[in-house]
Structure 1
Amino acid sequence: MEFTEYHTRLGAYVLLVDEQERALLAWWNGEGIAEPAWTLPGGGIEFEESVRDGLVREVYEETGYHVEPGALLAEHHFTARGRTFDGWYRSQRFVFEASITGGELGTTEVDGSTDHAAWVPLAELEGEPRVEIVDVALAARRQRMAER
């Protein structure tokens, strides 16, 4: 399919894991189309934003933290039929490392797709509902740690 025949959605996410091996995650409410689940803080990039600027905005909205994006950790994409338009779209997602530079835990967006954020122990995440991007990010983290 040619690029002019589908829509593209850019998304940027952050994987933050603290010294206690807890990941900062956002509780996605499913938006009425799926079951709620844990996801990485982040989301769709607005038309006028850079990927990193969108990441900073999204992480603040969903977690209350200000972050400084670091290295690209993973890329992932999927294709699906549009919910709000007729036709196909490609979701291109980027996962970054980052550091927290300020703020405090608490979701700031109103009527959005995130109900709350929390530091979730990695050891307890296995049985929790989560979206695919969480597993993509954690696999990339494991690989990066093995290479060091």
Structure 2
Amino acid sequence: MDFTEWDTRLSAYAVITDGHGHILLTWFNGAAPLWTLPGGGVEFEESLEAAVAREVFEETGFHVAVGRPLFSSTMTADVGSRSPRPFKAVRIIFEATIVGGELGTTEIGGELGTTEIGGTTDEARWMPLTGLPDHEPRAGIVDQAYESLRRTTGS
């Protein structure tokens, strides 16, 4: 199939750890709710790094310094959610370090939420890396991030 025959969505995500064995995940409230990495779609005139910094803040309340790309991930579907055309998602995952902000900067019904109002993220939470298998359902990029961290740290 020629590239003109499908739609592409470019997105950028962050792998953020706290140095104490935890990874920051967000709860995606879409058609198939699950835990995922903070991040999302890149706007038309936005760089990948600016997109991931914006998305992390919207979804978690944290400001981050965006580091190097860790890995990329793609997925395809016969029909996209916004178009009847075939769809390809291209996701670039970066390492990131928190430089400011506060987890869950808004309050929704007495619980900490996100700065994103009316979006696809309900909450952000620090999850123990050793307990990731217990946090179902989760996006495949969470497992890829775990493997990337394991290779980097050798544990």
> TM-score per shorter chain, which class?
over 0.9
Structure 1 segments unaligned to the other structure (5+ residues) = none
2:111 aligns to what? Answer: none
Deviation for aligned residue 1:136: 1.2
CA deviations 1:19-45 (Å, max 9, x no partner) are: 21010110111x2x21x2110000111
TM-score (normalised: structure 2) = 0.89
* Partner AA of 2:133 in structure 1: E
Residue in structure 2 matching 1:55, options 52, 56, 81: 52
Query: Which aligned segments of 4 or more residues in structure 1 are displaced greater than 6 angstroms?
Result: none
1:8 aligns to what? Answer: 8
Residue in structure 2 matching 1:140, options 137, 142, 148: 148
Deviation for aligned residue 1:93: 0.5
1:70 aligns to what? Answer: 67
Deviation for aligned residue 1:66: 0.5
Residue in structure 2 matching 1:125, options 132, 145, 154: 132
1:104 aligns with 2:102: yes
Contact 1:60–1:108 at 8 Å: present in 2 too? yes
1:20 aligns to what? Answer: 20
1:115 aligns with 2:125: no
> In structure 2, how many angstroms separate the alpha carbons of the residues matched to 1:19 and 1:94?
22
* Partner AA of 1:62 in structure 2: E
* Partner AA of 2:69 in structure 1: L
Q: Matched residues, percent identical? A: 48
